[in-house]
């Protein structure tokens, strides 16, 4: 790799670092902050679902804008700027409707960036898409730094300091959004086809459907896992450590992805990830009082997110090429991580209240099982 391209690598890595450091402040701890200012379980579930709602809507708007203007990175920079400005509203409100408005605006702009940066990264890698995980791993490192640092901090300082940690991450995203140089989108024979022709292929529909179910399965994990652990007597530092363990294992599998892809291919990796997700959510639901079982469940994050994410993004890049790259990644993110997390997050509140955590995470396992069956049915023979 020549020096310019190596420099490019670190610019992209810096963006991933701060983007997922923000996720590391939000996913494990935001529900605890909302609980600390008086919101109940249903309100927390709604507010925690705002971000995935916007991930369902916004990326498609921004993806179309990027493809039509040809100014992908300018769109990323504008979105990062507006996200940071809107985030400042969290310092000004503790009301439900005020927080709903602030999170909605912030998430609308924040969620625009990642599908476009994913498309940029995969374009940069060219034929070496199996190496995507090595750049993406810097996002996982950012997540770990945030999760562990804040976990220990919140054993000694008020959870309200979370707001300042989020602001640092937003400013980091803004800084690195202005460092990523442009890439050339290569022409492809599907450029003249409408994107629906690609989207309606049976294998593509199966991939979207299965990944939607995987995101539904993870909705209760992102919404209530931290509260679940604290209610069972775990310190906030232990909560951060358990989140971090999962992401450390995720980093490991990202570095193994080139070997895994050569040996098994994207589809078989996905099938294995769905199978292990069934086991993981059953362990979380029924083994919370046994630390060893929770440790095993968090190690399985390597499969249920790390390998799963790298393989699914790789397949989307294979299906959507040329001028459809940004829209393809945006559609995938909107439908799976967006709609899936919305459904999983909103459903988790009533199930948590009326049936308890064990039933909630058993439902997560059931969603992962349905995704596994769909993958095996429609894509099981693919390499």
Span 127-158, pLDDT tens digits: 666 677 788 888 889 988 998 888 888 888 88
Give the integer Cα–Cα distance in Å for 257 and 270: 12
Q: Which of 281, 298, 278 is nearest to 234 (CA)?
A: 298
186: in domain: no
What's the full length of the chain, in residues? Answer: 383
User: Domain total for the chain?
Assistant: 1
303: in domain: yes
Answer yes or no: are the C-beta atoms of 223 and 363 closer than 8 Å.
Answer: no
Q: How far apart are the first and last CA of the chain?
A: 29
67: in domain: yes
Q: Which residue has the tokens 């440790």?
A: 295
Q: In terms of residue numbers, what domain contains 248?
A: 3-180+194-379
189: in domain: no
Give the integer Cα–Cα distance in Å for 185 and 64: 15
243: in domain: yes
Task: List pLDDT tens digits, range 15-67.
Answer: 999 999 999 898 778 888 999 998 888 888 888 888 878 888 888 788 778 77
Give the integer Cα–Cα distance in Å for 303 and 150: 25
34: in domain: yes
66: in domain: yes
Task: List pLDDT tens digits, range 218-265.
Answer: 989 988 898 899 999 998 888 888 988 988 898 899 889 989 998 999
Read off the DSSP letter of residue 187: P
Q: Which residue has the tokens 């000004």?
A: 92
187: in domain: no
Task: List pLDDT tens digits, range 72-117.
Answer: 788 889 999 999 999 999 999 999 999 999 999 999 999 888 888 8
CATH code: domain of residue 127 = 1.20.1250.20
DSSP string for residues in 231-300? HTT--HHHHHHHHHHHHHHHHHHHHHHHHHHHHHHHHHHHHHHHHHHHHHHHHHHH-TT-HHHHHHHHHT
Who has greater pLDDT, 40 or 214?
A: 214
């Amino acid at each position: 790799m020549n020096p310019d391209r190596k420099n490019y690598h670190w610019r992209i890595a810096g963006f991933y670092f701060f983007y997922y450091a923000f996720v590391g402040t939000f996913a494990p701890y935001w529900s605890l902050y909302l609980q600390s200012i008086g919101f109940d379980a249903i309100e927390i579930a709604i507010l925690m679902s705002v971000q995935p709602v916007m991930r369902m809507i916004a990326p498609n708007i921004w993806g179309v804008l990027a493809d039509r203007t040809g100014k992908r990175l300018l769109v990323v920079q504008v979105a990062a700027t507006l996200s940071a400005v809107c985030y400042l509203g969290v310092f000004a409100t503790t009301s439900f409707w005020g927080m709903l408005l602030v999170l909605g605006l912030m998430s609308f702009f924040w969620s625009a960036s990642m599908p476009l940066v994913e498309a940029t990264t995969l374009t940069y890698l060219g034929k070496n898409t199996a190496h995507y995980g090595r750049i993406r791993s810097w996002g996982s490192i950012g997540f770990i730094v945030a999760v562990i640092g804040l976990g220990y901090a919140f054993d000694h300082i008020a959870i309200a300091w979370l707001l300042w940690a989020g602001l640092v991450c937003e400013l980091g995203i803004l800084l690195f959004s202005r460092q990523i140089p442009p890439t050339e989108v290569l022409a492809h024979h599907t450029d003249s086809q409408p994107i629906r022709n690609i989207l309606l292929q049976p294998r593509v529909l199966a991939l979207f459907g299965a990944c939607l179910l995987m995101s539904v399965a993870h909705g209760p994990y992102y919404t209530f896992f931290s509260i679940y652990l604290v209610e069972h007597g775990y310190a906030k530092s232990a909560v951060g450590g358990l989140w971090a363990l999962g992401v450390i294992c995720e980093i490991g599998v990202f570095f193994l992805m080139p070997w895994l892809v050569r040996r098994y291919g994207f589809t078989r990796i996905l099938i294995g990830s769905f199978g292990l997700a069934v086991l993981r959510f059953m362990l979380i639901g029924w083994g919370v009082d046994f630390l060893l079982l929770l440790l095993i469940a968090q190690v399985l994050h390597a499969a249920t997110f790390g390998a799963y994410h790298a393989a699914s993004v790789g397949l989307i890049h294979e299906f959507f090429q040329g001028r459809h790259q940004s829209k393809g990644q945006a559609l995938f993110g909107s439908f799976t991580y967006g709609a899936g997390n919305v459904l999983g997050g909103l459903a988790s509140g009533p199930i948590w209240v009326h049936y308890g955590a064990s039933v909630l995470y058993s439902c997560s396992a059931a969603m992962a099982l349905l995704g596994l069956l769909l993958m095996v049915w429609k894509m099981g023979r693919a390499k």
